[in-house]
Amino acid sequence: MPDDFVITVGNSGSYDLSQHFEPSAEGNTLSFQAETIFKDIDDPASGFVCDDPICIGWINGVFENGTLEWDTPDASNIGIYDIDLKVSESATGESLSVFFVFEVVSTADISVSPTSFNKTVNVNATAAQTFTLANNGTQDLVLGTFAITGSGASRFSILDNCSGQTISASEKCTFQIRFAPTSAGSKSATLTIPSNDPDTPELTISLQGTGEEATVVARPNISVSPSVYNFGSAPTGGTSAARAFTISNTGDATLSVSSVSLTGSDASAFSIQSDDASGKTISPSSSRTVSVAFAPASEGTKTANLVISSNDPDSPTKTISLSGTATQTFTLYFPHAASNAEWETEICVISTDAIQNITGTFKGYGDNGTLVAETAEITLTPHARKQLIIGNDFENPDQIGYVVFESDGDGLAGYTKFHTGNIMRAAVPAVSEVNSGDVYISHIAANEEWWTGISLVNTTDEVRALTIDFYGRDEGETVTETASVTLAPGEHWADTVKKLLGAENTDLFQSAVIRNAAGIIGLELFGSEAGKGKNYLSGILLKDSTATTLCYPHIASNEKWWTGIVAHNPGEASATLNITPYSESGTALTAQTISIDGNGKYVGTAQDLNFPDGTAWFEIAATTPVSGFELFGTDSEQQLGGYTCVDIDGKSGVFAKLEQDGGWTGVAFVNTTSSSAIVTLTAYDDSGNPVGEETTDLQPHEKMVELAENLFTEASIDGATYIGYSSDQPVVGFQLSGSSDDMLLDALPGM
């Protein structure tokens, strides 16, 4: 019986059975036939029996030359097999049956890829290569300790995830060989991997490495700081403070910057404010800067990239990530500011929101629309008030042409006050609504006694070409004059009527209309010419609004005060004004009617209208929309204050400042409706804390006028800086504030 032999799982092969048999006579041949195959010879009854060797898929059969061939058995074929082998002689015809035993066994099978290491690297640098070790067998591969030997072994090292590990069948692990020469020349070593692979108990890999002296080449190297930037929150329509990005050359050759640009879907939300790098070179150890601002036009989170292209061979394009969040913006405009040797400007903002905090920033702009100053962010708690002086609270005050308060809330009111030392003062409300049509200049006084100044701001991002049509009377005939003013986006323009017209007969003109004024805001001031012995100064906002009903809520006519009346008809058709005076208790007195030609106006005093005795206020009902305002002046010719009479009624508002330092503030209310009104007054300090509260009833058309402190009968309002009011019916209110020396006066409507 021949010796047993072993077949390894996964290996194909053959076995020469004829080596165990010799023919009995010369020239006699033998033939072989496997008649039966048993699996598990110890228990043939339970094993597999096959009469044809080919029925076992991985056995190809026993051929006549006595060779047994097989393909690659798998783990399911592991076991002991018996071949019932019949051997026959050709000459005698005799045959012999023998049992031939073989066994299919499982083993580990190691392989490594790649099969060698050969690297060239600069001296004192490192080259590395990763190898994958696999177990291709069906039995666990048990690895021993890896070893590097040979003359150059000290220059090679192994980063090992395999040594000493057990690798399951069909699994892999990786390790890395590193070559780190300290001198030039070739180095060699051998990596030995021991394992339980019966065919390859020690697998070896040749390690070859060459060290070369490094060649030093001068190279630029770009560095940008900061490498990423978040602008935080900014209001839509506004522009954040610019952020400087420093571009440095940390290399040893000249860095050439070819371009600096903004890319990304939100690139338009950011703007390059200054660029000192594009098209320029930067010497080693030197730097240049680029400034970027966040200027979102719509709400939401915005992202973009600042891209810097240069000749840095490693980073020819440097990308800086930019981000910012745009919040809804509410803007309150102060359309004129003057802070110089002659003039100073006070501005104020008040939160009328009773619940939410409002956070914002005051920004001062030059005449060309450039941001020249900005305050720190401020937060107004409910009912809080913030007052600033341009010359004290802003940088570059002499460069500021107008101021904007940008915030996250719309519950705001405010004013601008102008004064020349302790001589003249005027106040106008801040602007919360931008004009959308033609703007009306209701009053012009430009003669030997008076000057009229106009201030305009273009709030849009487009150029505005304005036409100003002036209207006047000369010996009963209408006269006109036209001037043109072109405003760039954000531009502020201010001048006097005399300079604008450059004519000798400016005293003929009494009013004007600014055409193509959508997006334009402004104000007018009128005052006494210097050297004429008078110190009158007042002003009103320039607006596009008119009304068919105007309320003039106060008449002061006595030995000290006079009341000026202006009604302006900006239309082409004549207007009939029905004027109804009322007593303080609300009784309607004898009415009268006057007419105003198209593009004409009525200007005079309350005394000129010959109102009945006891007239406390009056109302105009016009047949076509008109505008108008009233003035209060002293016969001493030292004080003047006025306010518009268009759209000043409402159910709530503020009297924005109570005069301090011994001065006085008077407040008047008129109930213009036919129903009783309940009015609640609350005095607040600058922090929004209530100091006093009073409720009063106003009968239909009744008027109430009193010094501010006398309106509160239950408590002192010392410490209060302004008064808020609310009513269940629309009311008209205004305030007059004067200094203790009877020099300064200003007027504001309830806002």
Quick: pLDDT tens for 631-650.
Answer: 999 988 899 999 999 999 99
Count of CA atoms in the C-beta half-sphere (13 A) of 229: 21
Phi, psi of 681 (to 5 degrees): -110, 135
Q: Quick one: DSSP state of residue 39?
A: E
Burial class (CB in 10 A: 0-12, 13-18, 19+), 36: middle
Quick: pLDDT tens for 655-702.
Answer: 999 998 889 999 999 999 999 999 999 999 999 999 999 999 999 999
| pLDDT band, very low/low/confident/very high, at 744 (cuts 50, 70, 90) | confident
Terminal-residue alpha carbon distance, the chain: 121
How far is the C-alpha of 399 from the C-alpha of 339, rounded, in Å? 8
Per-residue model confidence (pLDDT) at position 17: 81
> Is the pLDDT assigned to residue 101 strictly greater than 90?
no
Give residue limits of the domains in the chain. 5-105, 110-212, 222-327, 329-421, 649-749
Architecture of domain 222-327: Sandwich (2.60)
Map 654-699 to HEC letters.
Answer: EECCCCCCCCEEEEEEEECCCCCEEEEEEEECCCCCEEEEEEEEEC
Q: Is the peptide bond before 313 cis (omega within 30 degrees of 0)?
A: no
Give one word for 747, left, alpha or beta, with left for phi > 0 and alpha for psi -120 to 50. Answer: beta
Q: Which is it for strands 547-552 and 228-235: parallel, antiparallel or unpaired?
A: unpaired
For 136-286, strand residue ranges (E) read: 141-142, 147-149, 156-160, 166-167, 172-179, 185-194, 202-212, 222-225, 228-235, 243-249, 255-263, 270-275, 280-282
How far is the C-alpha of 568 from the C-alpha of 624, rounded, in Å? 11
- Whether 366 and 339 have beta carbons less than 8 Å apart is answered as no
Mean pLDDT of 89-103: 78
Greater model confidence, 87 or 348 = 348
| pLDDT band, very low/low/confident/very high, at 743 (cuts 50, 70, 90) | confident
| pLDDT band, very low/low/confident/very high, at 70 (cuts 50, 70, 90) | confident
Pick among 2.60.40.10, 3.90.1300.10, 2.40.50.140, 3.20.20.70: CATH of 5-105:
2.60.40.10
Which residues, 6 or more positions from 421, have their beta carbon under 8 angstroms from its beta carbon? none
Quick: pLDDT tens for 495-522.
Answer: 999 999 987 788 899 999 999 999 999 9
- Whether 443 and 566 have beta carbons less than 8 Å apart is answered as yes
The residues that bridge with 423 in the sheet, in sequence order, are none
Q: Which is it for strands 317-327 and 228-235: parallel, antiparallel or unpaired?
A: parallel
- Whether 616 and 582 have beta carbons less than 8 Å apart is answered as yes
Asked if the domains at 329-421 and 649-749 fall in one CATH topology, the answer is yes
Residue with tokens 């010959």: 610
- Whether 167 and 183 have beta carbons less than 8 Å apart is answered as no
Quick: pLDDT tens for 112-140.
Answer: 999 999 999 999 999 999 999 999 888 89
- Whether 613 and 626 have beta carbons less than 8 Å apart is answered as no
- Whether 282 and 249 have beta carbons less than 8 Å apart is answered as yes
Q: How far is CA 391 from CA 9, 347, 368, 492, in A?
A: 96, 11, 20, 19
Measure the CA dihedral 149/154/155/160, to 10°.
70
- Whether 721 and 685 have beta carbons less than 8 Å apart is answered as yes
Q: What's the token pair of residue 749? A: 């409507």
Q: Which of 214, 206, 58 is nearest to 125 (CA)?
A: 214
How far is the C-alpha of 216 from the C-alpha of 84, rounded, in Å? 78
Per-residue model confidence (pLDDT) at position 316: 95
Q: How far is CA 541 from CA 282, 466, 507, 646, 666, in A?
A: 53, 17, 22, 11, 21
> Is the pLDDT assigned to residue 255 strictly greater than 90?
yes
The residues that bridge with 697 in the sheet, in sequence order, are 678
> Is the pLDDT assigned to residue 608 strictly greater than 80?
yes
Q: How much of the chain exceeds pLDDT 70, in percent?
A: 96
Weakest mean pLDDT among 70-84, 159-173, 404-418: 70-84
Count CB-CB contacts under 10 A for residue 701: 21
472 membership: H or E segment, kind and range: strand 464-474
> Is the pLDDT assigned to residue 51 strictly greater than 70?
no
| pLDDT band, very low/low/confident/very high, at 603 (cuts 50, 70, 90) | very high
Mean of per-residue pLDDT scores for the chain: 91
Count CB-CB contacts under 10 A for residue 399: 17
Residue 369, SS3?
coil
So what CATH class is 649-749? mainly beta
Quick: pLDDT tens for 381-422.
Answer: 999 999 999 999 999 999 999 999 999 888 999 999 999 988
Q: Give the CATH number of domain 110-212.
A: 2.60.40.10
How far is the C-alpha of 528 from the C-alpha of 449, rounded, in Å? 6
Architecture of domain 329-421: Sandwich (2.60)
Query: What pTM was computed for the model?
Result: 0.63
Q: Quick one: DSSP state of residue 680?
A: E
The number of residues making up the chain comes to 751
Q: Which is it for strands 600-605 and 561-569: parallel, antiparallel or unpaired?
A: antiparallel
Residue with tokens 């930037």: 229
